[in-house]
Chain A
Amino acid sequence: MGLALLAIIWLITFVSTYFFAAKTWWLPHGASTSTVWIDHQFALTYVLMGIVFVAAQGALGLFVWQYRDQGKASKVTYSHGNTTMEVLWTALTAILFIGLNLMGSPIWASERFAPADPGSVPVEVTGMQFAWYFRYPGSDGKFGRTDPKLMDPSAGNEAALGLDTADPASKDDVVTGTMYLPVNRQVDLTLRAVDVIHSFFVPQMRFKQDAVPGLAIHMHFTPTEVGEYEIACAELCGLGHYKMHGMLHVVSQEDFDKWLATREAEKQ
């Protein structure tokens, strides 16, 4: 029985570790500036935790077999513990866990403590049951006023956001259901939600942030590769949560300007 336990525990450990090490299913290819630091911190954590995992499970499996009751051959060491060992492994664990945390903190700080760079692309992302809308402020650089009373989701885009056309700043606002961003330029996101909490999640940008009703949350990231990236909703928002997705197109600055100009022209 001791041997069976050792075998099973070690097998489970081996299989689990194998799939982690082989990266059979892994973080998707990252295409933002934060990818490097996040993936590095992730790798560090997983290597260290992996070592602890293998060591702990290995020891468990080994001990239950090694110290199995073998009748007269087994001798028990009567002991209530070992204070030195306790202190030692407590200290090491504390250093490991807290050290790991502190190592990740500068990344968090740079992502979240500082506001967006000047010159970043302003985009307002609004989540509602069950679609994402993206608003660009146009040439005046200002977002026009929205009015809850004017919201009509069935009409889509501007009407869904309740854009108040009486406000001059609204005239050049572009509202789309697809997000376009220029590559290698930081985007200054304003996240909003109209009804319940949603969450704007772009796995390949290593970006996630809840969109909360009653708040306008400012966040930023910088895409580094041209491509198409899926957006998922990452906070339960109702029956359509699974299909509340969008698409982010990262294009060259030129293409972005062209796209925006086309959208603005359509509004006339």
Chain B
Amino acid sequence: MATFSSPVSIDVPSTGQGGGGVRPPAYGGGGDGRGDGFPDYGQRLRRVRLGLAIGLTSVTMIFVSLTSAYVVRRGLPTLDERTNAYVRDWIPVDLPIALLLVNTALLLASSVTAELARRQITRQAALAPVRSIPGVSLGEDKGFPWLATTVVLGGAFLTGQWMAWHELADRGFYMATSASSSFVYLLTATHAVHLMGGILVLLYAAAVSLLNRPVEARRIVVDVTAWYWHFMFLLWLYIFGLVWFVR
């Protein structure tokens, strides 16, 4: 074990803060009254939420750049070699609206169930200290499997997207048919990939619930994934809006 040497002792707690600015939270100490030895889950949750917000910024940038490419490409005339004139070659895609609306409803429902799962586990985590009091029993509260429902609905959305792609192909719009069709496939596929990532994490959260992890730790996973899931829903609304209204 390395020795610790310092010419001046460093951990004299200073009562004054000396210099303004944000005071960050200290380590250790549970926020739930169970005393030392338990990690501060409240702090962990805030930290992971912060990490998610930062991560979602980068996802946003991916879709900002795709949007900018979309808008520019749509308005861009290209040189027609034969006539020597600039022509716009953007063909509006014949989107299977009904199917996409159904998918949107499925994703909305999954967002609702994800939120219910999040609140469910929040309550369970809040009650955890009570459970640890000897002699107290709150009963076996399994509750409705909101998490599993979210996974199912998410899977249904992805299946619906798959069907939408087939419908597009049937209507003659393939990946390389036109710039507009390329973008429709690209935007929806990129969103689907990110949603799939979310489903995998939800499956992990569900699996983790079977392993005997503390509920507070499980709560962090479900909470952050649920927020991610809501973002994925809003992102879908945006993409759908873009390819429909900016046709």
Q: Chain A residues with Cβ under 8 A from B78's Cβ?
A: 214
Distance A57 CA – B109 CA, assembled complex (angstroms): 66
**A216 at interface (Cβ–Cβ under 8 A)?**
yes
**A147 at interface (Cβ–Cβ under 8 A)?**
yes
Q: Chain A residues with Cβ under 8 A from B84's Cβ?
A: 143, 145, 216
**B56 at interface (Cβ–Cβ under 8 A)?**
no
Distance A162 CA – B78 CA, assembled complex (angstroms): 19
Distance A174 CA – B83 CA, assembled complex (angstroms): 19
Q: Chain A residues with Cβ under 8 A from B52's Cβ?
A: none
Chain B count of residues within 8 A CB distance of the other chain: 6
Q: Chain A residues with Cβ under 8 A from B79's Cβ?
A: 192, 214-216
Minimal Cβ-Cβ distance residue in B for A162: B81
Chain A count of residues within 8 A CB distance of the other chain: 11
**Contact for B82 among A143, A147, A214, A216, CB less than 8 A:** A147
Least Cβ distance of A152 to chain B in Å? 15
Q: Chain B residues with Cβ under 8 A from A162's Cβ?
A: 81
How would you classify the secondary structure of chain B's contact residues: helix, strand, loop or mixed? loop
**A146 at interface (Cβ–Cβ under 8 A)?**
yes
Q: Chain B residues with Cβ under 8 A from A143's Cβ?
A: 84
Distance A215 CA – B78 CA, assembled complex (angstroms): 7
> In the complex, which residues 136-165 of chain A have their Cβ closer than 8 Å to any Cβ of chain B?
143, 145-148, 162, 164
Q: Chain A residues with Cβ under 8 A from B82's Cβ?
A: 145-147, 164
Distance A145 CA – B78 CA, assembled complex (angstroms): 16
In this complex, the member of A143, A147, A216 whose beta carbon has the largest number of chain B beta carbons within 10 angstroms is A216
Minimal Cβ-Cβ distance residue in A for B76: A214
Contact code string B81-101 (vs A, CB < 8 Å = 1, else 0) = 111100000000000000000
Q: Chain B residues with Cβ under 8 A from A216's Cβ?
A: 79, 84
> In the complex, which residues 40-82 of chain B have their Cβ closer than 8 Å to any Cβ of chain A?
78-79, 81-82
Q: Chain B residues with Cβ under 8 A from A145's Cβ?
A: 82-84
Distance A164 CA – B84 CA, assembled complex (angstroms): 13
Minimal Cβ-Cβ distance residue in B for A212: B79
Distance A162 CA – B81 CA, assembled complex (angstroms): 10
Distance A85 CA – B224 CA, assembled complex (angstroms): 49
Least Cβ distance of B137 to chain A in Å? 63
Distance A164 CA – B82 CA, assembled complex (angstroms): 9
Distance A143 CA – B78 CA, assembled complex (angstroms): 19
Distance A95 CA – B84 CA, assembled complex (angstroms): 45
Distance A68 CA – B233 CA, assembled complex (angstroms): 63
Least Cβ distance of B29 to chain A in Å? 36
In this complex, the member of B79, B81, B83 whose beta carbon has the largest number of chain A beta carbons within 10 angstroms is B81
Q: Chain A residues with Cβ under 8 A from B81's Cβ?
A: 146-148, 162
> In the complex, which residues 155-184 of chain A have their Cβ closer than 8 Å to any Cβ of chain B?
162, 164
Q: Chain B residues with Cβ under 8 A from A147's Cβ?
A: 81-82
Q: Chain B residues with Cβ under 8 A from A214's Cβ?
A: 78-79
Minimal Cβ-Cβ distance residue in A for B78: A214
Distance A90 CA – B79 CA, assembled complex (angstroms): 46
Distance A143 CA – B84 CA, assembled complex (angstroms): 9
Least Cβ distance of B148 to chain A in Å? 51
Minimal Cβ-Cβ distance residue in B for A167: B82
Distance A241 CA – B235 CA, assembled complex (angstroms): 44
Q: Chain B residues with Cβ under 8 A from A164's Cβ?
A: 82
Distance A178 CA – B81 CA, assembled complex (angstroms): 23
Minimal Cβ-Cβ distance residue in B for A215: B79
Distance A145 CA – B83 CA, assembled complex (angstroms): 7
Distance A146 CA – B82 CA, assembled complex (angstroms): 6
> In the complex, which residues 209-239 of chain A have their Cβ closer than 8 Å to any Cβ of chain B?
214-216
Least Cβ distance of B209 to chain A in Å? 54
Contact code string A2-44 (vs B, CB < 8 Å = 1, else 0) = 0000000000000000000000000000000000000000000
Q: List 12 A-B contacts (CB under 8 A).
A: A143-B84, A145-B82, A146-B82, A147-B81, A147-B82, A148-B81, A164-B82, A192-B79, A214-B78, A214-B79, A216-B79, A216-B84
Residues of A within 8 A of B (CB): 143, 145-148, 162, 164, 192, 214-216
Beyond A162-B81, A214-B78, A216-B79: 4 further Cβ-contacts under 8 Å? A145-B82, A147-B81, A147-B82, A214-B79
3 closest Cβ pairs, A-B complex: A214-B78, A148-B81, A214-B79
